[in-house]
């Protein structure tokens, strides 16, 4: 296995001494190098040589890629300096011209007819010249931009690779989690056997040692994959920066500010649209609610007076009544009835928070509790545990985080689960909060 230290030879943004002079190499030479590396990689994939060869090859590829990235960065700078700035200058001159034109219009009114015509002609010619110059600058800049790498495609590729590494990380997390549980079981059994049956203790000890060795291997694999993920995330960020830089070439600060404002207002419009859609959906479910409460009111006292801790029983009674009264209704109605349960769950979140605040446990114990409640979410909590370990690892800059000793309350654990859903599962903050709350809701039930 290739060591992660050698996976990437250079951090994004860091100056690569080898890259100096990359620009001096002809495209032909650079292409030859790329061809050679590509062929070697194909051979490697077919006959899989020893680890050192592979390590060396990857090192060469990443080094080559870093050099090329840096050369492209320099090219962007050059284009900005020679063409972008020129276009900005042309645009600024047009702006100045517009001001002068407005002023000259005032002046023209007090001039004799002949001079007025001359002035107007002069201004018009100047305007046309400036406009022509601007168009030429735009064309030049666009043609230069075509010679740059396709950063949008690069970002897409990195994201595809990130998905692949994240999938591997998730599998490792699951195995680490399974193994940690078995280690805990084995340790418990070992302690029992030491007291009651020394003969049995010996094989258990051997198995325990083996499990611990395997756990260390999983840890090592996990660290390696996380390092690759971090590296790819850095690369993605770097490529996004380049893309933004290219998009900003030849734009004045006023244009950039306007673009930002436009983008924000678009995002706001989308958010508002989503919100109004959600409101509409809620309104659509409202008539069903009133039917339900009228059914309730006919047999029970007012539902508003029900204590919160009876809400589960109430939901049960409700669904029983729904079954009786809506036997002849179609499947769509059933799904609507399910949706009506949502607001009740939201109300009970206060209760969930009380429970979460109640006790402090170590993360391992929390994950165990949650896993017991949500067997089907085993994978999620395995990933979460690994994420927490990783996060704490970073926070403590080095030293291993003792997952068994650090005690936190459930609210803090919930925050970590939300962070995990946002950072690893790529959910939005509100989606993540909703998902985690619904997972933890079983604690109330």
Partner 1 sequence: MDTIQEAEQLLAELKNQIRTNEEALDKINQAIDTADYNYARSLIAEQKEYLESLKKEDPTV
Chain-centre distance of CA 367, in angstroms? Answer: 23
Minimum Å gap between C-beta 143 and partner 1 is 10
Smallest Cα–Cα separation from 385: which of 393, 373, 395?
A: 393
Angle CA(242)–CA(244)–CA(247) in degrees, nearest 5?
110
Tokens 């997390």 label which residue? 173
The distance of closest approach from Cβ of residue 16 to partner 1 in the complex, given in angstroms and rounded to an integer, is 15
Residue choice 20, 23, 35, 320 for contact with partner 1 (CB under 8 A):
35
Angle between helices 85-110 and 113-145 (to 10 degrees): 170
Report yes or no: 369 and 361 within 8 Å, Cβ to Cβ. Answer: yes
Binding mask 232-261 for partner 1 (x = CB under 8 A): x-----------------------------
200 binds partner 1 (CB under 8 A): yes
Instruction: Say whether residue 403 binds partner 1 (CB under 8 A).
Output: no
Q: What sign results for the dihedral spanned by CA atoms 84, 89, 95, 101?
A: negative
What letter does residue 24 receive in the DSSP assignment? T
Secondary structure (H, E, C), 92-148: HHHHHHHHHHHHHHHHHHHCCHHHHHHHHHHHHHHHHHHHHHHHHHHHHHHHHHCCC
List Cβ neighbours of 138 (8 Å cut-off, separation of 6 or more): 87, 250
441 binds partner 1 (CB under 8 A): no
172 touching partner 1, by CB under 8 A:
yes
CB of 359 to partner 1, least distance (A): 29
Question: DSSP code of 409?
Answer: E
- Considering only 10, 64, 177, 366, the residue that binds partner 1 (CB under 8 A) is 64
Q: Taking contact as CB under 8 A, which single stretch among the options 16-24, 212-220, 268-276, 295-303 is the one that binds partner 1?
A: 212-220
Q: What Rg, from alpha-carbon coordinates, does the chain have?
A: 33
Listed ranges 92-100, 176-184, 263-271, 299-307: which one lies at the site for partner 1 (CB under 8 A): 176-184
Q: Give whichever of 58 and 420 is closer to partner 1, judged by the CB atom.
A: 58
For residue 156, is it left (φ>0), alpha (ψ between -120 and 50) or beta?
Answer: alpha
Residue 388 interacting with partner 1 (CB under 8 A): no
Token reading at 263: 């983008």
CB 60 within 8 A of CB 10: no
Q: What are phi and psi of 128, to 5 degrees?
A: -65, -40
Residue 147: HSE in the Cβ half-sphere, 13 Å Cα cutoff:
13
Q: By CB under 8 A, is residue 96 in contact with partner 1?
A: no
Residue range at the interface with partner 1 (CB under 8 A); choices 99-107, 134-142, 192-200, 257-265: 192-200
Among 16, 30, 205, 223, binds partner 1 (CB under 8 A): 30
Is 24 a binder of partner 1 (CB under 8 A)?
no
When asked if residue 160 is in the footprint of partner 1 (CB under 8 A), the reply is yes
Whole-angstrom Cα distance, residue 291 to residue 332?
Answer: 15
Taking the complex as a whole, how short is the minimal distance between the CB of residue 138 and partner 1, in angstroms?
A: 19
- Find the helix packing angle between 378-395 and 363-373, rounded to 10°: 160
Q: Is 2 in the site for partner 1 (CB under 8 A)?
A: yes
Q: Does 395 bind partner 1 (CB under 8 A)?
A: no
Closer of 35 and 136 to partner 1 (Cβ):
35
Question: Of these, 44, 120, 219, 296, which contacts partner 1 (CB under 8 A)?
Answer: 44
Among 226, 228, 236, 414, binds partner 1 (CB under 8 A): 228
Minimum Å gap between C-beta 24 and partner 1 is 12
Query: Least Å distance between CB 387 and partner 1?
Result: 18
Length of the chain: 445
DSSP H/E element including 362: strand 360-362
Restricted to residues 128-157, the positions that interact with partner 1 (CB under 8 A) are 147, 149-150, 153-154, 157
Binding site for partner 1 (CB under 8 A): 1-2, 7, 26-28, 30-31, 34-35, 37-38, 41, 44-45, 57-58, 61-62, 64-65, 68, 147, 149-150, 153-154, 157, 160-161, 164-165, 167-168, 171-172, 175, 178-179, 182, 185-186, 189, 193, 196-197, 200, 203-204, 207-208, 210-211, 214, 217-218, 221, 224-225, 228, 232
């Amino acid at each position: 296995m290739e060591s992660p230290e050698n996976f990437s030879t250079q951090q994004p943004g860091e100056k690569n001494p080898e890259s100096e002079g990359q620009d001096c190499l002809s495209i032909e030479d650079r292409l030859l190098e790329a061809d050679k590396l590509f062929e070697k990689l194909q051979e490697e994939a077919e006959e899989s040589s020893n680890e050192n060869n592979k390590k060396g090859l990857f090192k060469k590829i990443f080094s080559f890629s870093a050099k090329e990235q840096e050369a492209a960065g320099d090219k962007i700078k050059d284009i900005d300096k020679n063409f972008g700035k020129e276009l900005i200058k042309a645009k600024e001159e047009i702006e100045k011209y517009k001001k002068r034109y407005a002023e000259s219009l005032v002046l023209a009114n007090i001039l004799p007819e002949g001079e007025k015509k001359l002035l107007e002609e002069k201004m018009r010619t100047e305007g046309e010249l400036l406009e022509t110059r601007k168009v030429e600058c735009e064309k030049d800049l666009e043609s230069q931009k075509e010679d740059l790498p396709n950063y949008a495609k690069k970002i897409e590729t990195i994201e595809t690779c990130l998905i692949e590494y994240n999938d591997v990380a998730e599998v490792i997390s699951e195995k680490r989690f399974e193994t940690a549980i078995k280690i805990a079981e084995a340790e418990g059994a070992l302690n029992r056997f030491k007291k009651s049956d020394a003969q049995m203790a010996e094989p258990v000890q051997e198995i325990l040692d083996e499990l611990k060795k395997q756990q260390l291997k999983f840890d090592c694999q996990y660290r390696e994959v996380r390092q690759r993920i971090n590296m790819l995330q850095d690369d993605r960020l770097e490529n996004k920066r380049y893309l933004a830089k290219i998009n900003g070439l030849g734009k004045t600060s006023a244009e950039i500010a306007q673009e930002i404002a436009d983008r924000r207002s678009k995002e706001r419009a989308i958010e508002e649209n989503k919100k109004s859609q959600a409101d509409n959906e809620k309104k659509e479910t409202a008539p069903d609610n009133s039917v339900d409460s009228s059914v309730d009111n006919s047999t029970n006292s007012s539902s508003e007076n029900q204590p919160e801790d009876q809400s589960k029983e109430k939901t049960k009674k409700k669904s029983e009544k729904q079954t009786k009264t809506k036997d002849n209704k179609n499947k769509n109605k059933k799904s609507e009835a399910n949706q009506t349960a949502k607001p009740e769950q939201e109300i009970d979140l206060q209760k969930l928070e009380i429970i979460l605040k109640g006790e402090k446990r170590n993360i391992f114990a929390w994950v165990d509790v949650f896993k017991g409640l949500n067997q089907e979410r085993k994978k999620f909590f395995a990933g979460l545990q690994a994420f927490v370990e990783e996060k704490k690892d970073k926070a403590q800059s080095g030293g291993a985080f003792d997952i068994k000793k650090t005690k936190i309350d459930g609210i803090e654990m919930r925050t970590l689960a939300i962070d995990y859903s946002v950072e690893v599962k790529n959910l939005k903050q509100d989606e993540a909060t909703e998902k985690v709350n619904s997972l933890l809701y079983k604690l109330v039930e």
